[in-house]
């Protein structure tokens, strides 16, 4: 890494496209999806280890939550459209 800086090899590298930059909409969305998956994993761990719920029951809770969110989004989109 020191040679990379001292020999100025960094000048020959092309900059990253704005689509893939750390502050772009695409990368922000990917970060949000990753944070959501970590939150879901945390909730699953809480349900199974702290509350003693069986794994399949935790999956059923998430499935029902997904269906409920889809129902609400569908109703909102119909009301606005």
Position 17 confidence tier, pLDDT thresholds 50, 70, 90: confident
Residue 47 CA to residue 42 CA, distance in Å, equals 9
Q: Is the pLDDT reported for residue 70 higher than 80?
A: yes
pLDDT digits (tens, 9 = 90+) for 29-39: 999 999 999 99
Residue 77 CA to residue 10 CA, distance in Å, equals 49
| Dihedral Cα 81, 36, 26, 23, nearest 10 deg | 120
Mean residue pLDDT of the chain comes to 91
**Helix locations, the chain, DSSP H:** 2-6, 25-45, 55-80
When pLDDT is averaged across residues 15-23 and rounded to a whole number, the result is 78
pTM of this structure = 0.65
Residue 45 CA to residue 52 CA, distance in Å, equals 10
């Amino acid at each position: 890494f020191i040679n990379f800086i001292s020999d100025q090899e960094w000048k020959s590298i092309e900059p990253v496209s704005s689509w893939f930059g750390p502050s772009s909409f695409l990368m922000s969305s990917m970060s949000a999806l990753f944070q959501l998956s970590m939150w879901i994993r945390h909730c699953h761990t809480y349900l199974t280890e702290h509350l003693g719920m069986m794994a399949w029951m935790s999956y059923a809770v998430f499935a029902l939550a997904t269906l409920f969110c889809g129902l609400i989004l569908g109703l909102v989109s119909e009301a606005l459209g």
